[in-house]
């Protein structure tokens, strides 16, 4: 995200937009639990204080993958607010905030992403306690029980 310093008036300026998903420079691997699936979106409020550019706002992107709690599909927007200031030279035309916005999004990614705050957890794939114990009901735990009985 590059903003033109000439667009920032005495009262500052607001910028909204998005950059292509490639801007996140995600190192795609087979082991990704989640990966970016949409553009990097941003909202930036910029002010010029002399030679200091002060920006606040937010950045986010859509991520898709596998829920770490229930194992189901995950599709969520991750992001956060940010604040940054940088010195701008008298001949400088634009300021590049790409790395700050990218960092804001990557730092907002949880270590164990879940599909929603209402994720049902393992209950979504396994029967509740006691349900798999009856005859003829082969829950996922029944197979493990059979192995442990050897």
Report the distance separating Cα 9 and Cα 80, nearest Å: 26
Q: Does 1 bind Zn ion (CB under 5 A)?
A: no
Encoding tokens for residue 74?
Answer: 């995950």
Give backbone dihedrals phi and psi of 48, rounded to 5 degrees, phi first.
-105, 120
Of 24-32, 37-45, 100-108, 115-123, the segment contacting Zn ion by CB under 5 A is: 115-123
Q: Does 108 bind Zn ion (CB under 5 A)?
A: no
Neighbours of 1 (CB within 10 A): 21
Separation of CA 36 from chain center: 8
Q: Does 34 bind Zn ion (CB under 5 A)?
A: no
Q: Does 109 bind Zn ion (CB under 5 A)?
A: no
Of 35-43, 64-72, 104-112, 141-149, the segment contacting Zn ion by CB under 5 A is: 64-72
Q: Does 76 bind Zn ion (CB under 5 A)?
A: no
Report the distance separating Cα 61 and Cα 102, nearest Å: 9
Least separation, in Å, of the C-beta of 74 and Zn ion?
A: 7
Q: Does 67 bind Zn ion (CB under 5 A)?
A: yes
Burial class (CB within 10 angstroms; exposed 0-12, middle 13-18, buried 19+) of 35: middle
Nearer to Zn ion, 70 or 84 (CB): 70
Which of 68, 49, 70 has the alpha carbon at shortest distance from 120? Answer: 70
Q: Does 70 bind Zn ion (CB under 5 A)?
A: yes
Least separation, in Å, of the C-beta of 128 and Zn ion?
A: 16
Neighbours of 79 (CB within 10 A): 22
Return the residue of 41, 69, 76, 102 that touches Zn ion, per CB under 5 A: 69
Q: Does 66 bind Zn ion (CB under 5 A)?
A: no
In the complex, the residues that contact Zn ion under the rule CB under 5 A are 67, 69-70, 114-115, 119
């Amino acid at each position: 995200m590059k903003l033109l310093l000439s667009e920032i008036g005495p009262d500052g300026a607001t910028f909204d937009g998005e950059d292509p998903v490639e801007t996140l420079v995600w190192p795609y691997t087979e082991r990704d639990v989640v990966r970016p699936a949409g553009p990097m979106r941003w909202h930036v409020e910029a002010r010029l204080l002399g030679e200091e550019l002060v920006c606040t706002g937010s950045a986010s992107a859509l991520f898709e993958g596998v829920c770490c709690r229930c194992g189901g599909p995950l599709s969520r927007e991750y992001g956060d607010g940010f604040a940054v200031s940088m010195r701008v030279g008298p001949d400088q035309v634009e300021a590049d905030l790409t790395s700050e916005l990218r960092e804001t999004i990557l730092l907002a990614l949880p270590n164990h992403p879940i599909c929603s705050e209402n994720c049902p957890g393992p209950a979504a794939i396994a029967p509740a306690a006691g349900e798999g114990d009856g005859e003829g009901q082969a829950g996922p735990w029944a197979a493990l029980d059979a192995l442990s009985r050897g």
